[in-house]
Structure 1
């Protein structure tokens, strides 16, 4: 939040440069929430005194399902002599693949719709769910999620459900998101 590194992470990353369009991948476009949409929803939340909670998806891209057959060489330092000539067939999307962001976004979209959220037609990373007077908004920015709403038990149910679908880090009440400090 203050610009200091909190944790260091190690990840297996595929070298995406040898991927060939039409063979290893077809589509790469993945939407993210526009900053103005986030600001508008934060203003609505402030006006109506809604709760604003934040979650982070751990290793989000690993949740994406590959539609293509993708192979990669074994990572340096992890090749055993008896498997020296073998390659890895990827079962899931990993960081570094050209389609990783898209496959994660499609997987998230399917999951959140299954829970009853409706995707905004004009802003594909903003979702809403209305049940009587209870309203919930969900904003996805790559792997960061803002959950906004007027009913704490409903928001808690959303967080619990998301945690059952994906490996999540609950950041509690939103205090800082995309360079914006939230009071």
Structure 2
């Protein structure tokens, strides 16, 4: 996918990733720390994480197309490098979300009853969620810098102007 309505697809697809990865991360942490929430979220937890995961390669692929159609500079290259690092985080979110969902659907006797296992899953979930969100922020920040570094004036130009 390269263009959507004349706009680079990356510009549109990246918004799904920017919203869904942090949302999946938040749902994962809530579900991992609070088992009752995981039961209430049900299958929505791994589905949300899967959709976020699926969005990453779509946005990355569209970004690679866009990279070939813009002037290359250090900011664009840095953004592309950072973007390539999100897939493992998104995969981690999905795997942990599936594990938390699976554990939550078991009866209370079958559920992860060992406190150390539940604690380890919760700590790992928090670590992966934080890593994913921080990575999304860093990628987005670098993309904004690449797109806008020379494309606006801090002083108002009056082009938007007030009607008299």
| Length-normalised TM-score, structure 1 | 0.22
| Length-normalised TM-score, structure 2 | 0.23
Higher helix share: 2
- State the structure with more CA Rg: 2
